[in-house]
Amino acid sequence: MIFRKRVELFLRTVIGRAYPRLIGLQRERSWLIFDTLLPLLQMSAFVFVYRAMQAPPEYTGFVVLGGAMTAYWLNVLWSMATQLHWEKENGNLALFIMAPTSRMAILLGMALGGIVATSFRAAAVVLVGIFIFGAHFSAERIPELIGIFLLTLIALYGMGMLFSSLFLLYGREAWHMSLLLQEPIYLLSGFYFPVRSLGYWTAMGASIVPITLGLDAMRQLLFPRMMQQIKFLDVRIELLVLAVLGLVFLFLAQRSLSYMERLACQEGRLTVRGQ
């Protein structure tokens, strides 16, 4: 009975925290427009650069896929990693600490709501890439593609949960950390080009960010004709590494949240604005 109540509380917390992000799409439609249309400009620039260089047509697909996954990276960076910091600034963090529920459930709800909201932007990018830029994708290995995509999101949002605690401990430096991480990940993770172009060891180091391997694996499945030219690691190896990264990040996120909670109870300084 106790276990059942805990599970029910966990699920209700997840739904409760996902709800505001889903409803926010309807109340602030202007955000959806700006968050969808403006990022298309950067993607369009890379498409025209590749066409000016007379690159193979598959490179248009590389850019479109990278542009779609950019939406998830930005959501992790700005809506997950810095979330607890903003809650602290708004005076809500004390309520999260005192709430008789799991902090992981709170962040999981935020993640699920963010994934659904962000998927609209990612879908818009893909549709623009297909109908305006003529990007073509292979549909031969859809089940594997879905599996890689889900594992990438699990690992990516697990990393966002971990960052949410670390950024909170850094205090006001969270904003600077977010700005610092945004652009370098675009380069190191190969959002707009095959990551193997960076060299083996650089790409291996960049693989600590799940989206690096996720993009490489999805490109191999969506562009099989270019597989040998773009492949960094075998898809099966990347699947295994993504699964391990997901478990590691979720474990570290749980540990860091527990540490944050103990620090708040013992020292009472995490919920004080400006510290």
Q: What is the pLDDT of residue 218?
A: 93
Average pLDDT, integer, range 135-142: 85
Asked whether the predicted pLDDT for residue 64 surpasses 80, the reply is: yes
Mean pLDDT along residues 52-70: 89
Answer yes or no: is pLDDT of 21 > 60.
Answer: yes
Range from 93-107, 110-124, 155-169, 178-192 carrying the lowest mean pLDDT:
93-107
pLDDT attached to residue 269: 59
Hey, how many other C-beta atoms are within 10 angstroms of the C-beta on 100? 6
Cα separation of 219 and 91, whole Å? 43
- Which residues have C-beta within 8 Å of that of residue 57, sequence separation ≥ 6? 134, 136
On average, the pLDDT of the chain sits at 82
Q: Higher pLDDT residue, 216 or 261? A: 216
* Contact in structure between 220 and 231 (CB atoms under 8 Å): yes
Residue (of 94, 75, 80) closest to 275 by Cα position: 94
Is pLDDT above 80 for 223?
A: yes
* Phi-psi map region of 268: left, alpha, beta (phi>0 left; psi -120 to 50 alpha): left
Residue 185 in tokens: 């990940």
**Band of the pLDDT at 82, cuts 50, 70, 90?**
confident
Res 81: pLDDT? 74
Instruction: Give the pLDDT mean for 11-25.
Output: 78
48 or 36, which is more confident: 48
Domain ranges of the chain: 2-267
The model carries a pTM of: 0.86
Query: Rounded to 5 degrees, what angle do the CA atoms 90, 93, 96 make?
Result: 135
H-only helix segments in 28-139:
29-52, 58-75, 83-90, 93-98, 103-131
pLDDT category at 273 given cuts 50, 70, 90 is very low
- 25 pLDDT band, cuts 50/70/90, is low
